[in-house]
């Protein structure tokens, strides 16, 4: 519930019978200011009058904080707060108080004049201010009076309701940073109102490759998609008239059919499984080859995820709605027994890769595993590099492709293979109505895949 103007004690505290203004100092600035709060007495005992006088003082204090922080989020935060209070103002006096606060803070942001000029129409002398300070003051006034909405005004709220991976949220953050950087470079106001039509979105898209010349069109299209999702969310809340980013994509180079990423050959599998890699890498590769699982769910396995009834429990990936059961291949039993013996249920199966130390990192636990596998793969000569392509046509995901290929060649039903590897099953009957195959069916599919044998008729050493 909004506070009434007369009883609002925000930014106010009673001290020795008199009201004074108080504003919290951010932790990173407390050393510079020598205090945790800025305070200034209004020397009055009336709360009603204090509410009339506080805003210019609040604006001055926040201006000092913003200047110490390099002028940025604190100024925008105050502008947005004043805008919200203007919307809730119930009396002319409240509106006048807030407009005074806006004027005072805008004048502070504009700073001292740097010279004078003459109005060409009236001949009157006019003050001249530094262009960047004038622009900053103008932006503050537009936001505070509701004429402009910062691009990222609701972005935090949007990100909070997303049910996607942290990496995807990072793509949203990078996309917003790119858009704001382009606005600064092109002298476009960083507001939602600066992008009224698809034409303005196209202008940004056309400048993307010059803005980030080292990024591929595929990566840049990912950022365009994230902006489209944000605008779609804004449109539903009537913050923007339409999703101007819908359907916008940069052209990507066409690839020949033989340039698609592919499964490993049996010879490549044998080379990888017989090379001089660490025991942990050998274990990961074998689990990948005999489950078709992606690298991160394998590295994230815990002891409890290797059940006594002979199945792995892999964490969900991409569009999977929950954890996925995958039978443990007979050739993996020794690995599971060795890695679970004497350990607690929550212990990681692969402690060799504990994941990023920074809790805010968006990198997957398998990030280093993937890098180490790539280095090992190149060391043993398993590669399929093509000019103009960033990735080799064979990579860790090629284990997954190899498993699917071998299961298909062993006459396993497509729907069972899809269930085992976590692909969406096709059609209304299996994709919607079926509860999925029994474990016995999945086990037959998994055990139909065998590691290739060496010339002497033996499988690669475990």
Instruction: Give 337-376 pLDDT, tens digit per residue.
Output: 999 999 999 999 999 999 888 877 778 899 999 999 999 9
Q: Which of 11-15, 158-162, 253-257 has the lowest mean pLDDT?
A: 253-257
**Domain endpoint, select from 91, 111, 144:** 144
| Contact (Cβ atoms closer than 8 angstroms) between residue 250 and residue 209 | yes
In a domain, 70, yes or no: yes
Compare 211 and 111 and report the one with higher pLDDT.
211
Residue with the bigger pLDDT between 343 and 56: it is 343
341 half-sphere exposure, CB direction, 13 A CA radius:
6
Among the residue ranges 291-295, 314-318, 434-438, the one predicted with the least confidence is: 434-438
Distance linking the first and last C-alpha atoms of the chain: 67
* Whether 203 and 271 share a structural domain: no
What pLDDT was estimated at residue 27? 81
pLDDT at 453 over 80: no
Most confident by average pLDDT, 97-111, 158-172, 198-212 = 198-212
Higher pLDDT, 339 or 418: 339
Over residues 237-264, the mean pLDDT reads 84
- If asked whether residues 140 and 168 sit together in one domain, one would say no
Percentage above 90 pLDDT, the chain? 50
What residues pair up with 12 in beta bridges, in sequence order? 21
Question: Do residues 275 and 225 share a domain?
Answer: no
Q: Which whole number is the average pLDDT over 267-290?
A: 96
- Burial label, 81 (beta-carbon count in 10 A; 0-12, 13-18, 19+): middle
Counting every residue written for the chain, the total comes to 462
pLDDT at 95: 81
Tokens 């990024």 identify what position? Answer: 215
Full domain range(s) for residue 312: 259-447
Verify that 197 and 314 share a domain, yes or no: no
Tokens representing 99 are 């407009």
Mean pLDDT (the chain) is 85
**What is the mean predicted confidence (pLDDT) over 60-67?**
73
Instruction: Report the pLDDT value the prediction gives residue 425, as an integer from 0 to 100.
Output: 56
- Long-range interactions of 165-168: CB distance < 8 A, separation 24+: 165/362, 166/362, 167/362, 167/363, 167/364, 168/226
Whether residues 400 and 264 fall in one domain: yes
Report pLDDT for 431: 42
Could you tell me if 187 and 214 lie in one domain? yes
Half-sphere exposure of 107 (CA within 13 A, CB side): 9
> Is 254 domain-assigned?
no
What is the predicted pLDDT for the residue at 362?
77
Domain count, the chain: 3
Q: For residue 432, is pLDDT > 50? A: no
Greater confidence, 116 or 193?
Answer: 193
Distance CA 293, CA 328 (A): 12
Nearest to 76 by CA among 173, 143, 146, 158: 143
92 belongs to a structural domain: yes
Residue 121, Cβ density class (10 Å: 0-12 exposed, 13-18 middle, ≥19 buried)? exposed
pLDDT for the residue 183: 92
pLDDT at 328 over 60: yes
For residues 322 and 411, membership in a common domain is answered with yes
Q: Does residue 140 sit in the same domain as residue 172?
A: no
pLDDT band at 319 (very low <50, low <70, confident <90, very high): low
Rounded-to-integer distance, Cα 224 and Cα 2, Å? 38
Q: How confident is the model at residue 101 (pLDDT cuts 50, 70, 90)?
A: confident
- Place 220 in a pLDDT band, splitting at 50, 70 and 90: very high
State the sign of the Cα–Cα–Cα–Cα dihedral 75, 77, 78, 82: positive
Same domain for 398 and 271? yes
Residue 103 vs residues 82, 98, 131, 141: alpha-carbon distances, Å: 11, 9, 18, 8
Burial 363-390 (b: 16+ CB within 10 A, else e): ebbbbbbbebbeebbeeeebebeeeeee
Closest CA to 383 of 391, 399, 257, 255: 391
Give the pLDDT confidence score for residue 282 in this predicted structure: 97
Residue 432 DSSP class: I
Residues 357, 282 within the same domain: yes
Section 430-458 average pLDDT: 71
Does residue 242 fall inside a structural domain? no
Confidence of residue 143 (pLDDT cuts 50, 70, 90): confident
Please state, in angstroms and rounded to a whole number, the distance separating the CA atoms of residues 313 and 239: 43
pLDDT tops 80 at residue 78: no
**Residue 342 region by backbone torsions, left for phi larger than 0, else alpha for psi between -120 and 50, else beta:** left
Decide if 150 is inside a domain. Answer: no
Helix (H, G, I), strand (E, B) or coil at 209: helix
| Listed ranges 121-125, 319-323, 325-329; the one with the highest mean pLDDT | 325-329
pLDDT in tens, 198-219: 999 999 999 999 999 989 898 9
More confident residue, 431 or 395: 395
Strand, coil or helix: 184: helix
The pLDDT of residue 320:
66
222 and 169 within one domain: yes
Q: What pLDDT score does 73 carry?
A: 57
Which tokens belong to 380? 């043993």
């Amino acid at each position: 519930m909004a506070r009434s103007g007369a009883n609002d004690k925000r930014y106010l505290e009673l001290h020795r019978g008199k009201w004074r203004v108080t504003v919290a100092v951010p932790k990173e600035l407390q050393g510079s200011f020598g205090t945790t709060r800025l305070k200034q007495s209004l020397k009055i005992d009336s709360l009603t009058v204090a509410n009339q006088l506080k805003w210019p003082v609040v604006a001055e204090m926040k201006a000092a904080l913003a200047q110490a922080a390099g002028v940025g989020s604190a100024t925008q935060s105050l502008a947005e707060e004043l805008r919200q209070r203007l919307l809730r103002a119930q009396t002319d006096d409240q509106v006048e108080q807030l407009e005074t606060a806006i004027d005072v803070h805008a004048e502070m942001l504009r700073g001292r004049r740097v010279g004078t000029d003459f109005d060409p129409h009236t001949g009157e002398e006019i003050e001249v201010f530094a262009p960047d300070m004038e622009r900053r003051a103008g932006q503050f006034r537009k936001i505070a009076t509701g004429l402009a909405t910062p691009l990222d005004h609701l972005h935090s709220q949007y990100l909070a309701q997303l049910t996607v991976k942290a990496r995807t949220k990072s793509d949203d953050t990078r996309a917003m940073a790119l858009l704001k950087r382009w606005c600064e470079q092109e002298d476009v106001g960083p507001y939602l109102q600066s992008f009224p039509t698809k034409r303005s979105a196209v202008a940004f898209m056309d400048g993307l490759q010059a803005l980030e010349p080292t990024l591929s069109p595929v990566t840049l299209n990912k950022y365009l998609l994230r902006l489209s999702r944000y605008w779609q969310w804004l449109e539903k809340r009537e913050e923007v008239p339409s999703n101007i980013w819908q359907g916008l994509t940069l052209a990507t180079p066409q690839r020949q059919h033989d340039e698609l990423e592919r499964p490993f050959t049996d010879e490549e599998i044998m080379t990888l499984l017989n090379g001089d890699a660490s025991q942990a890498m050998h274990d990961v590769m074998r689990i990948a080859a005999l489950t078709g699982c992606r690298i991160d769910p394998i590295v994230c396995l815990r002891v409890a995820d290797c059940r006594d009834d002979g199945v792995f429990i892999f964490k969900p990936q991409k569009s999977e709605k929950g954890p996925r059961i995958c039978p443990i291949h007979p050739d993996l039993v020794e690995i599971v027994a060795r890695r679970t013996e004497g350990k607690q249920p929550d212990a990681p199966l692969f402690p060799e890769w504990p994941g990023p130390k920074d809790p805010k990192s968006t990198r997957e636990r398998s990030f280093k595993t993937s890098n180490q596998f790539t280095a090992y793969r190149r060391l043993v000569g398993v590669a399929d590099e093509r000019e103009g392509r960033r990735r080799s046509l064979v990579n860790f995901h090629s284990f997954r492709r190899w498993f699917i290929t071998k299961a298909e060649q062993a006459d396993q039903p497509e729907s069972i293979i899809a269930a085992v590897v976590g692909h969406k099953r096709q059609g209304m009957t299996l994709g919607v109505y079926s509860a999925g195959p029994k474990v016995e069916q999945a086990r037959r599919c998994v055990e139909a895949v065998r590691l290739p044998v060496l010339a002497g008729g033996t499988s690669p050493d475990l």
